[in-house]
Amino acid sequence: MAIVILPTVAVSFYLKLGSPDIPGQSALARGDAARGARSITRLVAQVETRLTRNPNDGAGWEVVAPVYLRLGRFDDAVAAWRKAIALNGETPKRFSDLGEALVAAANGIMTEEAKTAFQRAVSGDPSDAKARYFLGLADAQDGNREAAAAKWRAMLAGAPNSPWANFVRAALAKVTGEAESADIGSDAGDAVAVQNTDEAQRTAMIRGMVEQLADRLRADGDDVDGWLRLVRAYVVLGDRDKAKNAAADARRALQSRPADIDKVDGLVKGLGLEG
């Protein structure tokens, strides 16, 4: 729950003042105490009610977008960041946050739209660590490990003691296969743990869960979100043919719901599964 505290306080302030300003750490503690037992779901529902009445309230979209992300409502986070950018203007941070939401919505896949968002973020702010990391991830997913390693080494060279440094070191160690090349030092254990993960066992477990989802959807195909998750999961596993077949099954199951079919088609396009 701690991961949603900061966005929750921002939501609380927005509901009270109509402002997206996020308070400092001491105010965070005061806001958390004042909030008491109010749930994040209730707070978000109040913001959504306000946005239904005033869909052009850019402050509201900006406040709720990161909360959606932390709640796992990735498609809603994408939509909220798009609204925030349209209403509040283009900034490197907003593009970076949109890119992060797009990657999450695609189940970890770097779509072309996400890559473009991160590129625009870096173009406006070359120091944007989030965007720089994800652009390295795009290289890694494309099989260009050298380019990914170069981007991440450049990040570490410029800020070796930053809060995100250990995370980037671990990612670098994974693509190079050499813990020492990541300049890990005393944090070598974290990177080695990443390297030594039993990929076969983990993949088998994931495949098992994916097949359970597929079985459920074959029995009851009314869950459009389930179909979207299934298509994304097959792409992550490298089963693009299965992803295409799942999309075709989804269209058949949802044939009486054109709006849901549009969602499936949009995902197929975003993941490059057309043709």
Q: What is the DSSP string of 73-90?
A: -HHHHHHHHHHHHHHH--
**φ and ψ at 164, to 5 degrees?**
-95, 0
Which band of pLDDT confidence, cut at 50, 70 and 90, is reported for residue 88? very high
If 0-12 CB within 10 Å is exposed, 13-18 middle and 19+ buried, where does residue 75 land?
middle
Q: How far apart are CA 183 and CA 173, in angstroms?
A: 9
What average pLDDT does the segment 44-68 reach? 89
CATH topology of domain 199-270: 1.25.40
Question: Is it the case that residue 206 has pLDDT exceeding 70?
Answer: no
Question: Is it the case that residue 183 has pLDDT exceeding 50?
Answer: no
74-78, 92-96, 197-201, 235-239: lowest mean pLDDT where?
Answer: 197-201
Residue recorded with tokens 């005033």: 54
Question: Is it the case that residue 71 has pLDDT exceeding 90?
Answer: no
Note if the pTM is more than 0.75.
Answer: no
The more confident residue out of 248 and 182 is 248
Q: First CA to last CA across the chain, in angstroms?
A: 42
Q: What is the pLDDT of residue 18?
A: 42
Structure tokens at 212: 């359970």
- Burial of 86-107, coded b for 16+ CB within 10 Å and e otherwise, reads eeeeeebebbbbbbbbbbbbbb
Q: What is the pLDDT of residue 22?
A: 33
Which band of pLDDT confidence, cut at 50, 70 and 90, is reported for residue 176? confident
Q: For the chain, what are the domain ranges?
A: 1-89, 143-197, 199-270
Integer angstrom CA distances of residue 145 from 47, 126, 171, 230: 42, 21, 11, 27
Quote the DSSP letter at residue 125: -
Question: Is it the case that residue 233 has pLDDT exceeding 50?
Answer: yes
The more confident residue out of 256 and 39 is 256
Integer angstrom CA distances of residue 61 from 96, 192, 202: 16, 40, 37
Query: Which stretch, 71-80, 172-181, 189-198, has highest mean pLDDT?
Result: 71-80
The more confident residue out of 22 and 249 is 249
If 0-12 CB within 10 Å is exposed, 13-18 middle and 19+ buried, where does residue 52 land?
exposed
Which band of pLDDT confidence, cut at 50, 70 and 90, is reported for residue 27? very low
95-130 residue pLDDT tens = 999 998 998 888 778 889 999 999 999 999 999 999
Question: Is it the case that residue 15 has pLDDT exceeding 80?
Answer: no
Q: What is the pLDDT of residue 20?
A: 35
Q: What is the pLDDT of residue 114?
A: 92
Q: What is the pLDDT of residue 248?
A: 92
**φ and ψ at 112, to 5 degrees?**
-60, -35
Candidates 127, 132, 120, 81; CA nearest to 104 is 81
- Tell me the residue ranges of DSSP E strands in 88-238: none
What average pLDDT does the segment 184-207 reach? 43
Q: How far apart are CA 35 and CA 28, in angstroms?
A: 10
Question: Is it the case that residue 272 has pLDDT exceeding 60?
Answer: yes
For the chain, give the percent of residues with pLDDT over 90. 27
Per-residue H/E/C for 210-233? HHHHHHHHHHCCCCHHHHHHHHHH
Question: Is it the case that residue 10 has pLDDT exceeding 90?
Answer: no
